[in-house]
Amino acid sequence: MTQPKTAAFESSDSSTLEATTMLRSLFAGVSGLRNHQSRMDVIGNNIANVNTVGFKSGRVNFKEVLTLTLSGAARPTETAGGTNPRQIGLGMSVSSIDTIFSQGNLESTGKATDLAITGEGFFIMRNSKANFYTRAGNFDFDAQGRLVDPSNGWIVQGRMADNRGEIPSSSVVEDIVLPFGQKVPANATSDIHFTGNLDSSSVPIGTILDSTVLLAIEEAGDDSTMEGLYAKGRANSRISGLNSGQTTLTVSDGTTSEVYTWVNNDTTVGNSLFNSLDDLLAEMNNDFSTFSASLDANGAVIFTDTTNAAHTLNFQSNNPSLQTAFFNANGTIDNSASTTASSDEFSHYATDDEPVIKLRNSIGDSLNLTNGDSIDISADVGDLPTTGTLAVTNSTTLGELSEQLVSMLGIETLPGVAIDTDGSILIEGDKGLDNEISAVVIRSTGNTKFNTAMSFVQTQEAKDVTHSASITVFDALGEEHIVSLEFKKTSLRNQWEWAASTGGDEIISSGSTGVVTFNADGSLNTFTFDNGLNSLNIDPNNGASIIDAALDVGTINAFDGLTQFASTSSAVASYQDGYGNGDLDDISIDRTGKITGTFTNGVTQTLARLVMASFNNPSGLQRVGDNAYRTTGNSGNAIIGMAGESIRSEIVPGTLEMSNVDLAQEFTNMIIAQRGFQANSRVITTSDEMLTELVNLKR
């Protein structure tokens, strides 16, 4: 009887203890439900803001709350080991809800005032009470030109530039207000920069004139090669197409026949080979005793009987031009009857030692110059006319005519005038346009043949090596003027002359010419003005003051301006500091937050620069809605700086930073939160069932 009561009593005590245990598990389950709901709330907010510009996701962290210690730890002894503490946890709570400031993806919008941050930092905005910080850069300008968040009117903060477009280091952080409608007054040009290359390898060239082909009578002893002789008469053509060792001329006197072969070189008589007309005649005279062959005063080959008996000559060649040239020599010759035979008249290309009275034109007609004639010469050299005269004698040569031309034309670069391989007169003037040769006339009064043959064709035009660089400059009234610098290479090594000019009614009052020289390595040596001046003065001739412009061509002994290398000339007027008046037309924002205004006159000027804020602990910032944050005691004070400088970030214009929410991660977290919630619900229901069973023990 006693033991069951005791057991019952013990059971009653045990039931009381178990009931207390059930209550702990119930409370632990409730804490799990409540805090997993908090996690689900954060996940829901993240997903809701998946497309919110500049949104930063949140993250819930849990921690264990107090534990119930049933027994403490026991230290081991010499006879027994130690025991660990026995503890029961009492549930969990939210340890922190963190803001994750990882970089969001950038979305291009093309709108200039949409700004995204890559890296750390926040834009600073101000309302009437305090500063706020945001990563959402969807800004715009309001009616007063202030850069604002259009959703709430908060004004973006930065530093404003002064009237010169400079941001003083002492400037304060203030509202960014752009002066739309601002005008920039005209500014007269005071500095012109030139950069680029002047070609060291280019050289001036002179005039080249070439006359028609000139021939001269082939005479005994001229020894001109048969190839290229002109045959006037039946052939009226040049002897051509001769093949060494293959072209032949067969000569027969009716009794004897000899075959002569043309070769490139031959100086021996008696081998039936020939190269020149003299050589051919020597071979004939060596082989035939019935006739003799010789050249007359007109260059024709005369065949004369030497036996006082009639002989029939016959000439045959496998070369058509050679065959035709000797065709008229076919026939009977008889000294007793004073009968001779002759070929066409032969002429060769004229040379400089040719007597002018023996000259012929390109078709073998005599130019009819005779002893006592006068050759009159006239021409223009540069802008100056010049004349000369050459008296003709029996010994006056074509070379003397050339020398007269050199003297009269004042050519310093010899030979100046030469007889070309085709007998034409080749005139090559000194280099440059100042030495240009034109309107050359060589004539002899009443001599049509000569005057016609002395016509010239220009095969090369005289040119200077020049390069021009032009730029638009401005006077004090804002009117535009074109200024050009022409660089002209001189005969001195590494030296160029320069001359300034304008394109209108302007007057260059001083400083219009000078010299630029270069070192052996192509770097700038000197740049000087003539007459000791140091600037270019231009009278706009419109009532504006004189434009006094310095010409900057780079640093002496350096390569930052004009250079001289062996490459194409590329020198340009790269910069001038003048401009007309203009209105603010457009703005742009660069990666450092600098806001630049573009005016209608082409001037660009810095207007302002966005400032940014960073924090030692950005996770300590407090959300205030509108994608904005404010400082707290744990975030630390804002550290103000500039993007790309003290703030390690860049501003990307025309883009927005999207939310950094990772949907895949959030859905995973949602499943985990759901499972956690379900598990804690199961703890509660299981504890409830156990309590019910415990209560039923009393029934």
3-state secondary structure 49-69: CCCCCCCCCEEEEEEECCEEE
Angle between helices 663-696 and 2-48 (to 10 degrees): 160
Q: Count CA within 13 A, CB hemisphere, residue 279.
A: 22
The pLDDT assigned to 601 comes to 85
Type of residue at 42: V
CATH 3.40.50.300 fits 191-201+465-580, yes or no: no
Grade residue 338 by pLDDT with cuts at 50, 70 and 90: confident
**pLDDT value at position 203?**
87
CA distance 141 to 506: 44
In the prediction, which pLDDT does 15 show? 46
Q: Please give the average per-residue pLDDT across 571-600, as a whole number.
A: 93
Whether the pLDDT of residue 182 is over 90: the answer is no
Instruction: Give the pLDDT of residue 532.
Output: 85
pLDDT exceeds cutoff 50 at 209: yes
pLDDT digits (tens, 9 = 90+) for 188-200: 999 999 999 999 9
Tokens of 558: 């350096």
Count of Cβ atoms closer than 10 Å to residue 174 Cβ:
14
DSSP letter for 544, please: P
Q: How confident is the model at residue 127 (pLDDT cuts 50, 70, 90)?
A: very high
- According to the model, what pLDDT value does residue 8 have? 35
383-420 pLDDT, tens digit per residue, is 999 999 999 999 999 999 999 999 999 998 888 999 99
pLDDT average, residue stretch 433-452: 94
3-state DSSP assignment of residue 325: helix
Reported confidence tier of residue 666, pLDDT bands at 50, 70, 90? very high
Specify the long-range contacts of residues 666-672, CB closer than 8 Å, at least 24 apart.
666/43, 666/46, 666/47, 666/50, 666/57, 669/39, 669/43, 670/40, 670/43, 670/47
Nearest to 623 by CA among 634, 631, 615: 631
Give the span between the Cα atoms of 150 and 177, in whole angstroms: 15
Cα 410 to Cα 382: distance, rounded to the nearest angstrom: 11
**Residue 13's pLDDT is what?**
46
Q: What is the rounded average pLDDT for all residues in the chain?
A: 91
Note the pLDDT of residue 342.
95
Q: What is the mean pLDDT of residues 497-524?
A: 95
Residue 664 burial by Cβ neighbours in a 10 Å radius (0-12, 13-18, 19+) = exposed
Q: What is the mean pLDDT of residues 70-99?
A: 89
Please answer whether residues 628 and 129 qualify as being in contact, where contact means their C-beta atoms are separated by less than 8 angstroms: no
- The confidence score (pLDDT) of residue 22 equals 59
pLDDT confidence of residue 68? 80
Inform me whether the pLDDT recorded for 648 exceeds 70. Answer: yes
Residues of the chain with pLDDT > 90: what percent?
A: 77
| pLDDT reported for residue 690 | 85
Question: CA–CA separation, 658 vs 55, rounded Å?
Answer: 7
Q: Which of 85-89, 524-528, 568-572, 616-620 has the lowest mean pLDDT?
A: 85-89
Half-sphere exposure (Cβ direction) of 404: Cα atoms closer than 13 Å:
21
**Quick one: pLDDT at residue 295?**
96
Band the pLDDT of 71: cuts 50, 70, 90.
Answer: confident
> Which range among 12-16, 414-418, 519-523, 692-696 shows the weakest confidence by mean pLDDT?
12-16
User: Which pLDDT score is estimated for 14?
Assistant: 46
Say how far apart CA 380 and CA 439 lie, in whole Å. 6
Higher pLDDT pick, 448 / 686:
448
Among 12-26, 152-166, 441-455, 671-685, the range scoring the smallest mean pLDDT is: 12-26
SS (H, E, C) 426-474: EEEEEECHHHCEEEEEEECCCCHHHHHHCCEEEEECCECCEEEEEEEEE
Q: Are 555 and 525 in contact (CB under 8 A)?
A: no
* Of residues 149, 55, 44, 126, the one with CA closest to residue 627: 55
Q: What does the pLDDT look like over 1-60, one tens digit per residue?
A: 444 333 333 334 444 445 555 578 888 888 889 999 999 999 999 999 999 999 999 999
Is 481 in contact with 475 (CB distance < 8 Å)?
A: yes
What pTM was computed for the model?
0.55
pLDDT band at 699 (very low <50, low <70, confident <90, very high): low
Q: What is the pLDDT of residue 531?
A: 86
pLDDT of residue 12: 41
Averaged pLDDT, 309-314: 92
* Stronger pLDDT, 566 or 492, i.e. the higher one: 566
